[in-house]
Structure 1
């Protein structure tokens, strides 16, 4: 039997701009400065399926520059 390998966890935090409907990943944008969004979503105390209000942030669309609020995570 071969040696075990490690799995890779891939995460996306997708939002859709309310103005132009462009979908983008907040984790990939500069809006995730210093991993702040990771900490909000993956906080151990909040790692519950019913805690959909764990995320509160301000975002802007990379396509049309529209600013908007983001609140909650759909699991």
Structure 2
């Protein structure tokens, strides 16, 4: 049995739903990125992999019509 202390923040308490969740698996892929963009990202010490992943997620979210199961025509 785990003892939970009162001085811990509620966010630190494990809940059944978060305790069993696993991170989605990642796999290596090859992407073509313009050299000037990649060199600027490196100069800013950005993680290019995570930045590309975030941009793809944003594009997917923009492609869906809110409240429906339909994509915007010709968006992607």
Flag whether TM exceeds 0.5 (same fold): no
TM-score, normalised via structure 1 length:
0.28
* Greater fraction of residues in strand: 1
**Between structures 1 and 2, the one with greater helix share:** 2
Q: TM-score, normalised by structure 2?
A: 0.27
Structure with the larger RCO, 1 or 2 (CA within 8 Å, 6+ apart): 1
